[in-house]
Structures are given as structure tokens and as C-alpha cells.
Amino acid sequence: MTEILYLENAYLKEIEAIVTHVLDNGVILDKTIFYPGGGGQPEDKGLIISDKEYSVKGFDKNNRGMVHLIEKGLSVGDIVTLKIDWEYRYQLMRHHTALHLLSAVVNDKFENTKVTGGNIHFDRARLDFDLLEFKKDMAQTVIDDVNRISKEDHEVSISFMPREEVEKIPELQRTTVVLPASITQFRIVTIGNVDIQADGGLHVASTREIGEIKLVKTDNKGKGRKRVTISIV
């Protein structure tokens, strides 16, 4: 199995790894820093470097580990350098963390509001909320709060928790996504005393790193889906 280094440290930009399996469409490595996508956060871009550079075209889950999709050329036992497109990834981490603050503020202002969808891009990010309405001036108030909180420099920390404990914390049930029963150990992302989520994605280490965000737009996507789109200024 591939050791997944980004789960505990999202700031690894470049590492050495060993090719453990070669498949028709790519390679499996002993460890990786590449995020394969999920939870609304897109997959990483980057390179696998040996005597030549292989552009990583995507990822495939495999029972022996994550397949990094690249063209042929590498062999089992090759020592390679993994290098992620850090500018792209860091922007996703900032947007992702901003969405946590957004959902925390909305939950605080409009009691028990569920998040019904979300997506993260390089240049923007959005969340859908189970609200009857979410007008532009309401959204702007929320964004102002997010900016105030992010400046307070809250630490973002990662921990791991068994399912029984996760189920006892109501704040962890904020999204409507049902977590598969097969998962017994959860990764928990805590932002100071502001937010706590069961979450496999990648975040910045402090809310100050998010910088200032702005409201891009609000959309009514139907019942239970009032959409707020933000972007980092």
C-alpha cells in the first residue's frame, strides 16, 4: 500500500519515492504527496521525475495503492522525485479552508444549516446550503465575518478519531454526506474553536494564510441549495 503523506502534512511539495508497481496506465509508489481528488477538492497536478519528467495525468484507486497515471518508461525499484504544482495546490488549500469558515459562520448565524454541496477550484470555491433564501446582502455579512475570523489567526490541526467518538459530536454531522460504514477511523480537521469537521482534504495551517476573500455571487439552485461562491482577493 502507498503511504499517504499529505494526510498529516499538506505542505510537502517535493519528496523522493520508490516505484513499487508498474501498470499499463501508470505507477504505484511506496509513498505519495499527490492528492487524488475528493470532497470537492480537485486532484493535484505535478511531475514524477527520474531521468526524464513524467507529467501526472490523474489518479486511479487500486487495491495495492494509488495509481499515478503517467506514460510508460519507469520500472519497479526506480527512485523518483515527486513534485506537485504547489502554486495550484496552495490556492486550493486556501479556498478549502475558507469554505470551512464559511460553513461555520452560516451554521452559527442560521442554526443547524446543512451543507448540501460544494466545490473548490483554483480561482473560486462554493458551498450550497439548505436555506430557504440566501440573498446577496446576507451573504456579504457572512463573508465579512469570515474575513474577521481568518485574521484572528486560528490554528488548523489534524487528528484521528474512532467512529464512536465522531458520532457523539453533533458539529461533525454538518454535511449531508453519509460516511461509509467501512470507515472506522476518521481524520478530523479542527480550526481553533471555530470549526470541526471529519474531512480527508487539505487545508492551510493557520486561517491567516487564507488572506481576504470576496463574495463572487449567490445563486438559487432550488430547494435546499442556496449557493454562495467566493474567491480569494
Type and span of the H or E element at 106: helix 86-109
Closer residue to Zn ion in complex, CB, 79/183? 183
Task: Point out which residues pair with 4 in neighbouring strands.
Answer: 32
Under 8 Å between Cβ of 58 and 45? no
Q: How far is the CB of 132 from Zn ion (least distance, A)?
A: 26
Angstrom distance (rounded) from CA 223 to CA 122? 28
Q: How far is the CB of 116 from Zn ion (least distance, A)?
A: 16
Binding to Zn ion by residue 195, rule CB under 5 A? no
Contacting Zn ion within 6-35 (CB under 5 A): none
Angstrom distance (rounded) from CA 185 to CA 201? 15
Angstrom distance (rounded) from CA 113 to CA 130? 6
Q: How far is the CB of 7 from Zn ion (least distance, A)?
A: 12
Report residue 14 as a C-alpha cell: 517535493
- Residue nearest Zn ion, Cβ-based: 199
The residue within the footprint of Zn ion, chosen from 146, 172, 199, 215 (CB under 5 A), is 199
Q: How far is the CB of 170 from Zn ion (least distance, A)?
A: 18
Closer residue to Zn ion in complex, CB, 128/199? 199
* Nearest CA-CA partner of 116 in 40, 200, 36: 40
190 alpha-carbon distance from chain centroid: 13
Q: How far is the CB of 203 from Zn ion (least distance, A)?
A: 6
Q: Segment near Zn ion (CB under 5 A), from 44-52, 83-91, 118-126, 197-205?
A: 197-205
Residues with Cβ within 8 Å of 175's Cβ and at least 6 positions away in sequence, in order, are 114, 115, 197
Closer residue to Zn ion in complex, CB, 26/201? 201
Q: How far is the CB of 209 from Zn ion (least distance, A)?
A: 14
Q: How far is the CB of 205 from Zn ion (least distance, A)?
A: 13
Q: Measuring CA to CA, how many Å separate 102 from each of 40, 41, 98, 99, 228?
A: 15, 16, 6, 5, 9
Per-residue contact flags (x/-) with Zn ion for residues 51 to 70, judged by CB under 5 A: --------------------
Q: Segment near Zn ion (CB under 5 A), from 16-24, 50-58, 179-187, 199-207?
A: 199-207
Contacting Zn ion within 86-125 (CB under 5 A): none
Under 8 Å between Cβ of 218 and 134? yes
Closer residue to Zn ion in complex, CB, 36/201? 201
Residues with Cβ within 8 Å of 27's Cβ and at least 6 positions away in sequence, in order, are 19, 21, 48, 67, 68, 70, 74
The residue within the footprint of Zn ion, chosen from 128, 143, 201, 231 (CB under 5 A), is 201
Closer residue to Zn ion in complex, CB, 2/175? 175
Sites of contact with Zn ion (CB under 5 A): 199, 201
